[in-house]
Amino acid sequence: MNAPAPGAIGQRAGLVIVVLAQCLGTSLWFSPAGAADGLMARWQLGPPDFAWLLASTQIGFIAGTFLLALTGAADRWRASRLFAASCLVGAIANAALVAPGVGYPMAWAVRLLVGLCLAGIYPLGMKLVVQWVGGRPALALAWLVAMLTLGTAMPHALRAFGVVWPWQAVLLGSSLLAVIGGALVAAAGDGRFKATPAPGLRLSAADLRALLASRELRASAGGYFGHMWELYAFWSVVPALCLSTLLAAAQRPALGTAGAAGTAWSAWSAWSAWWVPIVIGSGALGCLIGGYAARRRGSAVVAFAALAGSGLMCALYPLLPTDAWPARLALLVLWGVLVVADSPQFSALSSQAAPAGLLGLALVVQNGIGFFISVVSIVVLGYGLGPWGDKALWLLLPGPVIGLWAMRSLLSPASRARLH
């Protein structure tokens, strides 16, 4: 990378702005999940149909990442401008869901557009972090993904805070947060460690060969792909898992009369609204713990441990009795901590293993493939929950298993020394 150039703001301030903007911008991602009851009632949707609405965002994100790759925009244009423009357009598209007369097909198309815009927020946010901190970006990326995780939890938190708000307020609130995030990055600009790419850089066979030639990049990407099979599918069903766990507690025989049971049912249902952002948002803590641990142990060790831990939670959760609600909630929170703790470490590993000048391309291609995998797992899990209940969560287990196998070479002393 080039030597740092003078900037209007300091490195630390620039990094803080980027990670805060990531939190605000990615609140668009699962905003329909925060308004799920209202949207499902509006269009008479069942769980599989709603899973496809969530998947449309992932599909749009995939299309956006490959559009960036094919045009070379990720490495040719200023990342801060792409980020800000994506926040603005995504916010407008997300807010369009509340317009009168919008049906399910139009909503699916709108969320596809939101996904396209998120491709200009998440991977470009990672690139901005690397541009602000220079080498060894693991801790900074941990902060970034922690903010993405909080952004994912934000619509659920808005729902919990405003239990009497109309569902439209959750969507509009997410859009407003995204506009603020885009404005912050537009004001901060690009980082001070900015590589100068070759003119006209864009996806080509030679670029792909250069990416595939790196054994360490292949290993990191393989671990990331296994992680992505699990992560977004788990996040997509957290509301259902929290609700079913707490409503099972409300049905305990000790409740007494039918009137008391009905009151308890309502209370436990409202309480579940708070547990959803807690479970998802706890991943921010996992990212930060992993980021600081990576400074001592290295990103590969932290990513391997987190992926193994989340796989263990996936295996154990369906085995817990349905009436053991405290244990089930505790395991969900621990799963939430572990399931995303490896994500910034995979990004750090890939950013260090990517060939010089192809950082943006490497990140958008890796993200695009990873999110395609997440589309499949979200839909598969959405269909499996109905007939199989909690045991459908075992459908996510192959992701961590395959990811651990793929990244095993990164634990060698030579790789750890290069990618610490």
Distance CA 117, CA 25 (A): 10
DSSP H or E run through 314? helix 299-316
- As a whole number of angstroms, the distance between CA 171 and CA 180 comes to 15
Cα–Cα nearest to 112, from 67, 142, 69, 152: 67
What the block records as the tokens of 55 is 């998947």
Place of tokens 């079913």: 244
Residues spanned by the domain of 26: 11-418
Residue 221 forms part of a structural domain: yes
Residue 69 φ then ψ, to 5°: -70, -45
Query: Does residue 6 belong to any structural domain of this protein?
Result: no
In a domain, 2, yes or no: no
Into how many domains does the chain fold?
A: 1
* Six-digit token string for 70: 């094919």
Using pLDDT thresholds of 50, 70 and 90, give the confidence band for residue 252: low
Please give the Cα distance from 83 to 306 (Å, whole number).
29
Q: How many whole angstroms separate alpha carbon 51 and alpha carbon 30?
A: 11
In contact, 147 and 73? CB cutoff 8 Å: no
Cα dihedral sign, 170-176-182-184: negative
The stretch 343-367 carries a mean pLDDT of: 80
Phi and psi torsions of 302, nearest 5°: -65, -45
Whole-angstrom distance, CA of residue 393 vs CA of residue 212: 32
Distance CA 126, CA 364 (A): 10
Determine if the pTM surpasses 0.85.
no
| Spatial CA neighbour of 172 closest among 93, 85, 236 | 93
pLDDT tens across 97-140, in order?
999 889 999 999 999 999 999 989 987 887 788 778 766 666 77
On the question of pLDDT at 256 being above 60, the answer is no
Contact at 8 Å (CB) between 351 and 135?
A: no
Q: Which two tokens stand for residue 279?
A: 């479970």
Instruction: Tell me whether residue 1 is in a domain.
Output: no
Structure token digits, residue 170: 């959750």
pLDDT tens readout for residues 202-233:
567 777 777 777 788 899 999 999 999 999 99
pLDDT digits (tens, 9 = 90+) for 272-317: 778 889 999 999 999 999 999 988 888 899 999 999 999 999 999 9
The tally of CA atoms less than 13 A away on the side-chain side of residue 250 is 21
Cβ-Cβ contacts under 8 Å for 330 (sequence gap 6 or more): none
Q: Does a structural domain hold residue 3?
A: no
Q: What is the CATH number of the domain that holds 299?
A: 1.20.1250.20
Burial of 402 (0-12, 13-18, 19+ CB in 10 A): middle
Instruction: Return the axis-axis angle of helices 215-250 and 205-212, rounded to nearest 10°.
Output: 80
Span 162-195, pLDDT tens digits: 555 678 888 999 999 999 999 999 888 876 655 5
pLDDT of residue 419: 61
Per-residue model confidence as pLDDT tens digits over 18-76: 889 988 998 898 788 777 778 888 888 887 888 888 889 989 988 988 787 777 776 67
